[in-house]
Chains A and B, each alone.
Chain A
Amino acid sequence: MGLEDLLFELQMAMPQVILGVINGAFYALLSLGLAVIFGMLNVINFAHGAQFMMGAFVAWMLLAYVGIGYWPALLLAPLIVGAVGVAMERLMISRLYKLDHLYGLLLTFGCALVIEGLFRNTFGSSGQRYAPPREFQALNLELGDFFLPGYRVWVLIAASTICLATWLVIERTKVGSYLRAATERPQLVQAFGINVPLMMTLTYGAGVALAAFAGVLAAPIYSVHPAMGANFIITVFAVVVIGGMGSIMGSIVTGFLLGFLQGLTEVVYPPFSQTVVFVIMAVVLLTRPAGLFGRA
């Protein structure tokens, strides 16, 4: 095979791989939120997918009912859904901290069912279209036969920026240091006069807001429908198992990496693309049970 053939193959593979990386951006955002919440609350937030879906729906409703466009929605939807998350934490999740962690999983699973059911009752199972704003056409990338819509470029930029910003806040700021300390030794941190329960509430709200942000980003790409989160979240769970929830950067890197690998699989052997993440999870469990970035 000559160099030209190889280049041609690469060019053919590019769109799928880039689509995979964009999927990876969502995996990264969602697993990041899960990791932040789990680190602080020791709760696996099964409602994360439903909250992702709520983010997309709130953006769609803001446009359809109030006429508020994409840019304000990018800020408003995470705030609204985050506020719902804060209420959920205060009313329900906070009652479970002294119990087995599995109850947190069961409770949030119940919440996910309620949210999905309510949206399905209101909007039906079919998808709603959310058109991306026109200004993204300026970002359109065209390299020969290869074309990448501007909006997808934006998704990559926005997701990476938010992931990095979250990492910076947690690892490099004073608030972040409180958060990390409270993750390790909550009682001690509380003894120093820091309001740990409030921090837990806000952490949950922030993790939920991240999911909603991902939802708004996803709205113009995928159709906005009640099951969109459930489809995503199980794959994200596998991503979380692969990365291990020990490190923030770990979940970001794992998310992007798995999206990339999924895209490659789509090129090499398409029927395998939906299961490849789960197979990688099995391999990681065999070789590094704590996950790539996890602590045993």
Chain B
Amino acid sequence: MAEASVVTGAAAARHEEQGFWGFTRAQAIAFLAMSAVVVVSPFLLYPVFLMKVLCFALFACAFNLLVGYVGLLSFGHAAYFGMGAYITGYAAKAWGVPPELAILMGGAIGAALGLPFGWLAIRRSGIYFSMITLALAQMVFFFCLQAPFTGGEDGIQAIPRGTLLGVFDLTADFTMYWLVAFIFLAGFLLIHRIVHSPFGQVMKAIRDNEPRATSLGYRVEQYKLMAFVLSAALAGIAGGTKALVFNIATLTDVRWTMSGEVVLMSLVGGLGTVFGPVVGAAVIVTMQNYLAEFGAWVLVIQGAIFIACVLAFRRGVVGEIGNALRVKL
């Protein structure tokens, strides 16, 4: 009865011609267009806003790696994002760690958390997986609420951006932007590479038919766990980058609402599409920016978008465009 997977709607074209870096021709064009937007936009728009978009775009791409290509919907990705932010912030502020290392530490803590959490959560699938990841993330939230190094309700404030590689002073927004843009594009390409590697093919096989992948001799658990850890590590990097951009890491980053936001971004853009999470993140961050003064209405509107997407718009923006153009984006 309920066999249609969350993502099969988005996977329009089954036979994909593998070009450079796993891009099809349409995807290569879209990627070039996206890179052009990333390069040009800081000259036109406020860099801090753009950096926020890029951080969340990377976060959503990391989340999408798991739901889109392994079919596991995590409802607890705020844990890795938030802990990444805290660790990067703490390392940069308390220990004076240079930014490139601090961000990598954020990714490392994401992976370190993702390993045991993923190991536990992949014991169940479907809805249970979502509930388990949510519950484990809530545990991290309570930990952050009480642990001394997070600063409780105040969070870690005045995190210094530092000097990249000892050369580039990141206090200027414009310089910081290029670092964030580099991290985003590198993360995006890495995810694309993972998805189109032999490893990624097995991931998709597990998503589409887990018993068959098992019967072909693949150790399904190991693949799921590996994907989980990669996704958590990238989420940690996104969180760490965000902490440097805004000089702050707070409980908002680890709260369950943040887990919901990343689900929403991917859903709006299109679950299981390559570019969907990026578009979704841009849409949601822009919306939050304009609605910030309306307080709790943001919650209502986000909820309404959730409902509308699930009821009428399951392919998401990019999924719909791809479907109309008959290409896989």
Contact = CB atoms under 8 A, between A and B. Distances in A.
A150 B134 CA distance: 35
Contact of A238 (B124, B135, B295, B300): B135
A278 interface: yes
Interface in B133-178: 134-136, 138-139, 142-143, 146
B96 interface: no
Contacts of A114: 299-300, 303-304, 307
B162 to A, nearest CB: 33
B260 A103 contact: no
Which of B73, B146, B307 has the most C-beta atoms of chain A within 10 angstroms of its own C-beta?
B307
B28 to A, nearest CB: 31
B311 interface: yes
A113 B127 contact: no
Contacts of A289: 123-124
B1 A237 contact: no
B184 interface: no
Q: What's the dominant secondary structure at chain B's contact region?
A: helix
Given A234-B135, A238-B135, A113 B6 contact: no
B311 A109 contact: no
A109 B124 contact: no
Nearest to B314: A103
18 contacts: A97-B2, A98-B1, A101-B127, A109-B263, A110-B303, A110-B310, A111-B307, A113-B299, A117-B297, A117-B303, A240-B131, A241-B124, A241-B135, A275-B142, A281-B135, A285-B120, A286-B123, A289-B123
A286 to B, nearest CB: 7
Contact of A285 (B132, B143, B267, B300): B132
Interface of B: 1-2, 4-6, 73, 75, 120-121, 123-124, 126-128, 130-132, 134-136, 138-139, 142-143, 146, 256, 260, 263, 267, 295-307, 309-311, 314
A279 B300 CA distance: 33
Given A105-B130, A120-B299, A241-B124, 19 more contacts: A44-B131, A96-B310, A99-B4, A102-B73, A102-B127, A106-B263, A107-B307, A110-B307, A111-B307, A113-B306, A114-B300, A115-B303, A117-B296, A237-B131, A241-B131, A278-B136, A278-B138, A281-B136, A285-B123
Interface string A116-128: 1110110000000
A117 B75 CA distance: 20
A196 to B, nearest CB: 12
Given A241-B132, A275-B143, A281-B135, A110 B304 contact: yes
A274 interface: yes
Contacts of B120: 282, 285-286
Q: What's the dominant secondary structure at chain A's contact region?
A: helix
A191 B304 CA distance: 37
A238 B121 CA distance: 12
Interface string A260-286: 000000000001001101110110011
A42 B127 CA distance: 9
Contacts of B297: 117, 121
Contacts, number: 135
Contacts of B124: 241, 285, 289
Interface residues of A, number: 46
Contacts of B73: 102, 105
Given A109-B306, A117-B299, A278 B123 contact: no
Rank and list the top 10 A-B pairs by shortest CB-CB distance, nearest first.
A110-B306, A113-B303, A117-B299, A117-B300, A114-B303, A120-B296, A278-B139, A238-B135, A110-B307, A289-B123
B306 A100 contact: no
Contacts of B305: 110
A75 interface: no
Interface of A: 38, 42, 44, 92, 95-103, 105-107, 109-118, 120-121, 230, 234-235, 237-238, 240-241, 271, 274-275, 277-279, 281-282, 285-286, 289
B303 A112 contact: yes
A112 B87 CA distance: 31
Nearest to B308: A110
B123 to A, nearest CB: 4
A271 B148 CA distance: 13
Nearest to A277: B135
A282 B133 CA distance: 11
Contact of A107 (B127, B299, B311): B311
A294 to B, nearest CB: 9
A285 B132 CA distance: 9
Contacts of B307: 92, 107, 110-111, 114
Nearest to B136: A278
Contacts of B311: 92, 95-96, 107
Nearest to A234: B138
A95 to B, nearest CB: 6
B296 A121 contact: yes
B300 A99 contact: no
Contacts of B134: 234, 237
A112 B260 CA distance: 11
